[in-house]
Structure 1
């Protein structure tokens, strides 16, 4: 599985939401509280963030566990950002290891993460992969289920879909091929889209908006997103919509 988090709001140091809270994402890399599949997220991690005046995000990704990376601790302390997406990885069997397989994935101004798995990967999802042109498959950043899902999302975005539409349509399509777990997280630096499909997802507002696999503290205000839902968030507010089953 994995754990991930996105933030929008006033400038802050990434560590304020990723490291300092008692059950922050760094803590979730070795002791998640709500994770339904897997126990440790030590197969890589990544942080993507936006600097004022530049819509294209920066990324810092590594193949090892986040708790062992001193450079990440410094970066998370001194950088300031109005928007970020971060993830810690528990690799799916059959998926490639390494930094290239760690979220967030990026394209232009967008950052993407997948919390979940495609059981039976890769054989069961060959027909899903075949819906993409061969050139796009050869250009995948990593040989992994998450990279394939990102390519499917990208194809929809490039065809003109909005963030939420691209995620929901990808989830519906991927769910046709097996009991997939498809918690997807996507931001363009000014809004967030996320799906809850097979694992936990929470949100909290004020100050800023946080969307996360699980709460990073026990303070009030966290709201769980129902399974099979699409969340859309901006600093102005959050809406949640059901995702119809692909069999409906």
Structure 2
């Protein structure tokens, strides 16, 4: 398993989300409090953020996050209005280099997967998918997370709503891999789409922004997302639906303190 988070809101230093808060992602790499599978997340880490101009930037390593002496200065100096970061506990049989560390990227999108899919190399066949040779050759890494991203990317590029893409991918994958753990996290720098299926997911809306994470840090105000849910969040709104209901990513209404669990029409 892994731990991950995404933030959108007023610009903040990366340290406020990663290294400078008790029980934050940095500490969750060796002492997660709510992780259901695995004990440490020492197989690499990655941070993606959005500069003022251009596509998102990424910093990824294959070492444990606590072993990177450059990260504290980077996290202190870099500010962004949108961040996606993860620490990794690798699925057995997958790549061990930094290419397998989330976030994965394409254009404005950043993506992360907290979970595991057994027999993932056979997943496209079992789903009835026929990825092109180019898609498979362009996989950023040989792992289940990179494959899930490859299955989602063409649909996002075609303009399908992010929430619908993630929810459908989780439902279909779970149908052919009943034991799969599929907490997916996606942002374009303006909003966050996330799924909870097989592990924990929380969100915190405060100070004009919203953070969605595998587990809470030490700050107050975190709310747990129910199992088998799709979450859509912007700095001004947080909503969730059961995964078996369709949801789109149209502009969301004003923020609600609790996620609204009502199916879309």
TM-score normalised according to structure 2 size: 0.88
- Counterpart position of 2:214: 213
Is the 8 Å Cα contact of residues 129 and 148 (structure 1) preserved in structure 2?
Answer: no
CA distance in 1, matches of 2:50, 2:164: 23
* Matched residue count: 243
Q: Report the secondary structure of 1:135's partner residue.
A: helix
Superposition pairs for residues 1-248 of structure 1, below 5 Å?
A: 1-54=1-54, 56-123=55-122, 126-128=125-127, 130-178=129-177, 179-207=179-207, 208-217=209-218, 219-244=219-244
CA distance in 2, matches of 1:15, 1:129: 43
Deviation (angstroms), 1:175: 1.2
CA distance in 1, matches of 2:28, 2:36: 13
Q: What are the superposed Cα offsets for residues 78-111 of structure 1, whole Å, 9 maximum, x if unpaired?
A: 0111110000000001111101000000000110
CA distance in 2, matches of 1:175, 1:155: 20
| Superposed CA RMSD | 1.4
Deviation (angstroms), 1:123: 4.6
CA distance in 1, matches of 2:171, 2:130: 14
Deviation (angstroms), 1:11: 1.0
Is the 8 Å Cα contact of residues 43 and 64 (structure 1) preserved in structure 2?
Answer: yes
Is the 8 Å Cα contact of residues 94 and 122 (structure 1) preserved in structure 2?
Answer: no
Deviation (angstroms), 1:120: 3.4
Q: Which runs of 5+ in 1 are unaligned?
A: none
